[in-house]
Amino acid sequence: MVSALGMTATLGGCGSTGSSDTTLRLVAADYGDSAAHSSAHYWKRLADAYHARHPDVTVDVSVYSWNDVDREVRRMVAAGHAPDLAQIGSYADYAAAGKLYEVSDLLSIRTQADFVAQLADAGRWKYAQYGIPFAASTRVLFYNKTLFADAGLTPPADWSQLASDAAVLKSRGVKFPYALPLGPEEAQAETMQWMLSGGGNGYTDDIGTYTIDSPQNVNTFDWLRDDLVGKGLTGPVAPGRLDRADAFSAFADGQVGMLDGHPALMRQAAAKGVKFGTVPAPGRTGRAKAAMGVTDWMTGFRQNGHAAQIGGFLDFVYDRKNVLDFSRAYGMLPVTSSASQAMTDSPTAADRQLRPFLDQLSDSRTYPVGKTSWASVSADVKKDIGQAVAPGGSPATVLGRLQATAAADDSADQG
């Protein structure tokens, strides 16, 4: 979700010099943007607090950057040294291999019932929940208030206005009137948001069948190629070579008029003094059908057999206060209903800033993470989708090729 530090931090949750009866090993991703703001500090406080209440359980936490965490967990599992807990980007392949506990084997009924239903449902593999939502975000359209005010523009409510606003910004010398990051870092996110904006369901239909080359999706990328990219409204870098991190940095530098963004962009832009506004993502003729939601996952591995201890610690992790503390510290959305309601009711400015994202969460659509084929499909999208909007590109051909590969991968996984 948020790519942060190229660092690894290992910390212990032991609040005393004595040894505990059980040591849980947790591998977590870093949401911080500096060493001082690393998630390692959050986990140390949480592990220490839990050990103070439960002296027989120590939680040792290793924190890795988003660039490394999934690979490190995969390495550990392959070597036969799975952690007890891993907070990572996917879960389905581990569930399919029989390596994970079902959520019902770990969490209390009260904790299970508190998750936002949309997110809990996304954690299912073959009708059983294995992925536990940990942190979430949605996308909205960010716009540079200064550039819009100077040009006499209002934020767009549909694609036609988005294109006309971008044309005015281009005429005024804005480097990226609309930043369209379809480069290999996170193209699957921008792609899905545009699919939803065009009236499609995203990558799959309502029963989970891949529909990447649906007529709505092909029409969406035809429009992007012809009405944005083809008219020079997406800036000097080809969308297929523009990464999300670079687009966010350009927005924070005042070089971007509009782009889709998640909550972390607010902090990044504010740190550079950029005045920005947000509106729901515009659709073809009005507000987009749905927003894209992204969730990261907590998983419990079966290898060491610590189901009771894992469950006890996770019930503590998902306490309303702890969920709110993490969400507020790292600009993410709460994954539990109690914390979401508390944030909605909060009068603080920081919580109010997150409400446009939070309002969309319950109706958002997520990646098809319950498919073991999703990892390879996502990799293919990152590699190829930029070709669909390139000069002379054929969305029907590119999306058709992605669909054929996705369907084949899905069939092989289910076979």
> Which pLDDT tens digit goes with each residue over 354-399?
998 998 887 888 999 989 899 889 989 999 999 999 999 999 999 9
Instruction: Write down the pLDDT at residue 10.
Output: 46
The CB-side HSE value for 151 (13 A sphere, CA atoms) comes to: 22
pLDDT, average across residues 53-63? 95
* SS3 of residue 356 by DSSP: helix
Read off φ and ψ for residue 194, nearest 5 degrees.
-70, -35
Which has more pLDDT, 412 or 137?
Answer: 137
Instruction: Write down the pLDDT at residue 7.
Output: 44
**Which pTM does this prediction carry?**
0.84
pLDDT confidence band for 32 (50 / 70 / 90): confident
Instruction: Write down the pLDDT at residue 4.
Output: 38
Calpha distance 273→291 (Å, rounded) = 27
> Does residue 252 register a pLDDT over 90?
yes
Domains, the chain, ordered by start? 8-137+294-366 (3.40.190.10), 140-290+373-414 (3.40.190.10)
> Does residue 414 register a pLDDT over 70?
no
Instruction: Write down the pLDDT at residue 259.
Output: 98
Instruction: Write down the pLDDT at residue 35.
Output: 81
> Does residue 108 register a pLDDT over 90?
yes
> Which pLDDT tens digit goes with each residue over 260-297?
999 989 989 999 999 999 999 999 999 887 889 889 99
> Does residue 8 register a pLDDT over 50?
no
Calpha distance 80→84 (Å, rounded) = 12
> Does residue 14 register a pLDDT over 70?
no
287: alpha, beta or left? (left if phi > 0; alpha if psi -120 to 50): beta
> Does residue 9 register a pLDDT over 60?
no
pLDDT confidence band for 141 (50 / 70 / 90): very high
